[in-house]
Amino acid sequence: MAIRLPVICLLGSFMVVAIAADLTPERYWSTALPNTPIPNSLHNLLTLDFTDEKSTNVQVGKGGVNVNAGKGKPGGRTAVNVGKGGVRVDTGKSKPGGGTHVSVGSGKGHGGGVAVHTGKPGKRTDVGVGKGGVTVHTRHKGRPIYVGVKPGANPFVYNYAAKETQLHDDPNAALFFLEKDLVPGKAMNVRFNAEDGYGGKTAFLPRGEAETVPFGSEKFSETLKRFSVEAGSEEAEMMKKTIDECEAKKVGGEEKYCATSLESMVDFSVSKLGKYHVRAVSTEVTKKNAPMQKYKIAAAGVKKLSDDKSVVCHKQKYPFAVFYCHKAMMTTVYAVPLEGENGMRAKAVAVCHKNTSAWNPNHLAFKVLKVKPGTVPVCHFLPESHVVWFSY
């Protein structure tokens, strides 16, 4: 089922330019975690492109940078070309408050780069070019496709309770298994891409922008207005479920946090694990939209990545990227190479919880595996858009 939500979109950043007043999310990551590569699952949320006729196209090549911002009416287009020869800006007529503003930096004060701001506030395109590379932020009126399943609770939180019918209807059920099954040659039926619909095609907002959006049950009506979502609609229910999970009581001493930006996710994870010996990983699959199929654990075998504490962040249903993060004690993180029946390969990340005594007895994992809370370690593969942080 396709659900359309108006959303402020972020079209990626490759590298930040010193002329920016604030660090971009990607630069914030590299500053806070200089020795930790950003997983593809998170990097993709910085470069999502919901293309429409008012979107921004960016081309980067050896000759420089070419930016075309929106089709617009004749004379309304903004074109920016940056090359070895300098900067050329062509901008059409615009109402007051719109237009194009160009800054060319020199020396340390501006990072020796170029900054271009075009459009009205809130619908603006910002382009920066410097020695480090190119940064582009675009905020337009496009209505990206939000692909979601029927609103429901997150099966990766401890207080989740499943119905019997979900054993067959919930594609996430196949992601749960027992630790003893992590051996070469073991076959499992899994559909990794099923979760893409659960988390939706929603991008990160920079922290400064995300913090201007109300997030919480007290201001929920204001949030609905911000995104033009009708109260009582399925979209509204979906958003309310996410907020309810974020505000729910902690389970068994759990430390949890809902990150509304990449920067806040970094801060929470670093506060629990430190910054010098921490890694963040996510599942990677070679093909998108693959059907449920049988995978075998490759002969190369399973690799244990961590056997102590971790922070697991699960992508939520929301108009922009929100992650439910929780610190998990007594957990083991594994890298699991999988080979599918159709030749498809996956570098799966698995998390095994050694102590499940505080979990809801009706949790989906117990129904799937037919075990009771606190008896055996319960494991699950991470969907592609989720991430686990651990110390090494």
Among residues 64, 283, 286, the alpha carbon closest in space to that of 172 is found at: 283
The whole-angstrom distance between residue 365's C-alpha and the CA centroid of its chain comes to 24
And the tokens for 61?
Answer: 């090549």
**Which of 40-44, 59-63, 200-204, 214-218 is predicted least confidently?**
59-63
The whole-angstrom distance between residue 334's C-alpha and the CA centroid of its chain comes to 21
Q: Is the pLDDT of residue 60 over 60?
A: no
And the tokens for 279?
Answer: 């890694």
**Which of 38-47, 92-101, 361-370 is predicted least confidently?**
92-101
Q: Is the pLDDT of residue 101 over 90?
A: no
State the DSSP H helix or E strand holding residue 162, giving kind and residue range, or none if neither: none
Distance CA(19)–CA(128), nearest Å, equals 7
Per-residue pLDDT averaged across 49-56, rounded? 40
Q: Is 43 helix (H, G, I), strand (E, B) or coil?
A: helix
Based on C-alpha coordinates, what's the Rg of the chain? 22
SS3 content of the chain, % helix, strand, coil (to 5): 20, 30, 50
Which stretches within 227-346 are classed as H helix?
A: 234-247, 262-273
On whether the CB atoms of residues 198 and 317 are closer than 8 A, the answer is yes
Q: Is the pLDDT of residue 141 over 70?
A: no
Contacts of residue 73, defined as CB under 8 A and 6 or more positions apart, other chains included, come to 92
Q: How do residues 268-296 score in pLDDT, each as one tens digit?
A: 999 999 988 999 999 999 887 777 889 99
Contacts of residue 21, defined as CB under 8 A and 6 or more positions apart, other chains included, come to none
Indicate the pLDDT class of residue 160, thresholds 50, 70 and 90.
confident
**Which of 36-50, 111-125, 275-289, 330-344 is predicted least confidently?**
111-125
Per-residue pLDDT averaged across 342-358, rounded? 93
Q: Is the pLDDT of residue 308 over 60?
A: yes
Per-residue pLDDT averaged across 62-88, rounded? 47
Per-residue pLDDT averaged across 47-57, rounded? 44
Q: Is the pLDDT of residue 3 over 80?
A: no
And the tokens for 364?
Answer: 């989906």
Q: What pLDDT sits at residue 23?
A: 83
And the tokens for 231?
Answer: 């109260």
**pTM strictly above 0.75:** no
Give the CA-trace dihedral at 177, 43, 268, 210, to 10 degrees: -120
Q: What pLDDT sits at residue 151?
A: 52
Angle at 167 between CA 333 and CA 236, to 5 degrees: 85
Q: What rounded mean pLDDT belongs to the chain?
A: 75
On whether the CB atoms of residues 289 and 192 are closer than 8 A, the answer is no
Beta carbons within 10 angstroms of residue 341's beta carbon: 12
Q: What pLDDT sits at residue 225?
A: 93
Per-residue pLDDT averaged across 230-234, rounded? 90
Q: Is 316 helix (H, G, I), strand (E, B) or coil?
A: coil
And the tokens for 336?
Answer: 């699991």
In 141-292, DSSP assigns E strands to: 145-147, 176-178, 187-190, 255-259, 278-281, 284-285
The whole-angstrom distance between residue 347's C-alpha and the CA centroid of its chain comes to 18
Q: Which residue has the higher pLDDT, 95 or 219?
A: 219
Q: What pLDDT sits at residue 259?
A: 97
Total H helices, total E strands in the chain: 10, 23
Per-residue pLDDT averaged across 323-333, rounded? 93
Indicate the pLDDT class of residue 20, thresholds 50, 70 and 90.
very low
